[in-house]
Amino acid sequence: MKNKNFYNIVITLIAIILLVIVIFLIIDKRTSFITEEEALKIALQNASVVRENVTITATNKDREDRKYEFEFFDDYYEYDVEIDMITGKVIKIEKDAKKGVNIENNSNETITLEEAKVVALSYLNLDNSEVTFTKNKLDLENGILIYELEFFTIDMEYEIDINAYNKEVIRVEKDNRNYLNAGNNSNAGHNSSNYIGASKAKDIVLNHSGINDHVIWKRTEFDFENNIPVYEIEFYYNNIEYNYEINAINGNIIKYEIDRDY
């Protein structure tokens, strides 16, 4: 009798396992995925290149995260693109100048920061009213002056490097904010159109510190702290370091530090 009950339990467990497998296979089969070829076409279009002009070095199908990953290069740049397997949306795109390739022209004159912003927005087909800039930096890389810009829209985060001599776009990185924050619903209700902007945040910290000129800006970044959108700002004045966190919605100072030993 005991053996019969044992066998019944075993058979029931096997039946349940088989049923779960069948259900999983049905659900997986009904899920519509774009093909790798379709994803590659989307990747090339968003990288603004044609297939004949690039060499594809890597393709990967990440079933766990449900995305296609592509790496390819042309004569001047290397590209890294990720495409959502279901929706076909671009999750990430990176564009980097190839090592050893000099894209600088012979001019010694550099464009202004505002001109670099115009180039960046034009390249990405964005309007200034759509974006919030979080980083504006002029840096020297491999003997070339580069504007490093970071900004975001409601849906995307962007990093773009602009050659300060010839307006060439050297590197682009785009991250889908909805994809990145899919597991954090607490951030979903924030609308970037309600943010005060990095420029206003700088005005707030200067007004609070009582400093009006001769400031050296070190860092201005946008982030979430305890699910609150904030601007993290660092600057120097008379060899003193100032650190601020500003609520990106209402402009309140969340915290600040002054390092007089710097």
Domains of the chain as residue ranges with CATH: 32-102 (3.10.450.40), 185-259 (3.10.450.40)
Note the pLDDT of residue 145: 83
pLDDT for 28 beyond 80: no
Picking from 187, 179, 221, 192, the residue whose alpha carbon sits closest to that of residue 92 is 179
Question: What is the pLDDT confidence band of residue 11, given thresholds at 50, 70 and 90?
Answer: confident
- Block residue for tokens 């050659």: 163
**pLDDT at residue 244, rounded to an integer:** 92
Name the least confident of 15-19, 24-28, 169-173: 24-28
217 or 186, which is more confident: 217
pLDDT band of residue 258 (cuts 50, 70, 90) is confident
Which pLDDT score, from 0 to 100, does residue 186 have? Answer: 44
Asked if residue 153 has pLDDT above 80, the reply is yes
Q: What is the pLDDT of residue 262?
A: 44
- List Cβ<8 Å contacts ≥24 apart for 67-74: 67/91, 68/36, 68/39, 68/40, 68/43, 70/39, 70/40, 70/43, 72/44, 72/47, 73/98, 74/49
9-13, 103-107, 153-157, range with greatest mean pLDDT: 153-157
Burial class of residue 249 in the structure, from the number of CB atoms within 10 Å of its CB (0-12 exposed, 13-18 middle, 19+ buried): middle
Which tens digit of pLDDT belongs to each residue from 197-240? 888 898 899 998 888 777 888 888 888 877 788 888 988 888 78
Q: Pick the more confident residue, 20 or 234.
A: 234
> In this predicted model, what pLDDT tens digit does every residue of 43-81 receive, in sequence order?
998 888 888 888 998 888 888 888 999 999 888 788 899
Asked if the model's pLDDT at residue 19 lies above 50, the reply is yes
User: Which parts of the chain fold into alpha helices (H)?
Assistant: 2-30, 36-46, 113-123, 177-180, 198-209
Q: How confident is the model at residue 108 (pLDDT cuts 50, 70, 90)?
A: low
For the cut 70, the answer to whether the pLDDT of residue 102 exceeds it is no
